[in-house]
Amino acid sequence: MRLVALALLLLGIAEQASAQVANPGTTADEAYQVGVRLFEAKLYEAAESAWLRAYALGQDPTLLVAVADTRQRRGDEPGAVAMLDQYLVERPDAPDRASIEARIATLLQSPAVLVIRSEQAGHAILLDGVPVEKKTPAELEVEPGTHTVLVVGEGKQVGEKSLQVGYGEVRELDFTPDTTSDVVIEQSEEVTLQAQLAIEKEDTTIRRAVISTGSISAAALVTGTVLGFLALQQEQNYRDNPTKETADKGERLALFADISFGLTVLSAVTSFTLFMTHKNKRRRERETARLRIETRGAGASATLKF
């Protein structure tokens, strides 16, 4: 209820402000003040209208920067750049030219956003032939330019769309079973074999590392035990014949025994960590399905996990 009341209040403020701005007798300063109140209420579109009205009445170029603020808050980077460029044109001697130019440069690096949806959620996405971690519905930031988006569902429904986006642009892409595509889904035996060989190679490497660290741990344990036993014997000798040489030898043996036991613990922890990490990785991989995507005629391919 509070949210509804707040929405109604903001709507009332916007309508009242719009009526005030539209009044033929409104001055540039009054329109500007209305824009300030709307901006503080986060009614950015209405604030932009008020400040554009104030600009039309007073031709104050600084208002163009205010309009750029509203557009940037709404995610309209190209619109914000247009206002800032116009500000610099109308005010060539602007004291804040350096900061405005820096702001424009930053805005020009703003990525585009692709909003990708499918009829059923959870479909896999390939962007320019590369699988992405997110699944539909998803928002992806991309560099300005031309991109190809593939959406795959249950290994059967495949949609493909190519588009060109500019900096800061937001494009919505909806995929349905009727979306056309030149994509062929098939299992590639060669890729499957290569993947299997890579898995076996990794398994062998991890297995050898686990065995090696485990062997080091066992050897260090035996060494530490022997050295500890010798250190106890040396301590007994020191009690029977307390000399500096006997004491030094006992301390050295005890030190080496401690080092061996420390190496035992370190190697054991390393071995266990390697084993569990690899085991959990393989378990996650077994819970996923692998799909080979090959683009006909383009020669581009990728292995998709979902």
Question: Is the model's pLDDT at 283 over the cut of 70?
Answer: no
Question: What contacts 147, CB < 8 A, 6 or more positions away?
Answer: 114, 127, 128, 162, 163, 164, 165
pLDDT category, 297, cuts 50, 70, 90?
A: very low
Residue finishing a domain among 181, 216, 239: 181
Residue 302 inside a domain? The answer is no
Task: Give the model's pLDDT for residue 183.
Answer: 47
Average pLDDT taken over every residue of the chain = 77
| pTM passes above 0.85 | no
pLDDT tens digit string along 171-196?
888 887 666 554 444 445 555 566 67
Coil, strand or helix: which one is 120? coil
The domain that holds 125 is classified in CATH as: 2.60.40.1120
Instruction: Assess whether 175 and 119 both reside in one domain.
Output: yes
Task: Give the model's pLDDT for residue 28.
Answer: 87
pLDDT tens digit string along 3-25?
434 344 444 545 555 555 555 56
Task: Give the model's pLDDT for residue 298.
Answer: 37
Question: CA-to-CA distance for 199 and 282, rounded, in angstroms?
Answer: 9
Q: In this structure, what DSSP letter does residue 125 have?
A: E
pLDDT tens digit string along 37-91?
999 998 999 999 999 999 999 889 999 999 999 998 988 888 999 999 999 999 9
Residue 304 inside a domain? The answer is no
Instruction: Assess whether 85 and 135 both reside in one domain.
Output: no
Residue 50 inside a domain? The answer is yes
Task: Give the model's pLDDT for residue 180.
Answer: 59
For residue 260, give its domain range: 189-293
Question: Is the model's pLDDT at 288 over the cut of 50?
Answer: no
Residue 253 inside a domain? The answer is yes
User: SS3 letters for 228-295?
Assistant: HHHHHHHHHHHHHCCCHHHHHHHHHHHHHHHHHHHHHHHHHHHHHHHHHHHHHHHHHHHCCCEEEEEE
Per-residue pLDDT, averaged over 133-143, amounts to: 89
Task: Give the model's pLDDT for residue 153.
Answer: 76
Per-residue pLDDT, averaged over 260-275, amounts to: 80
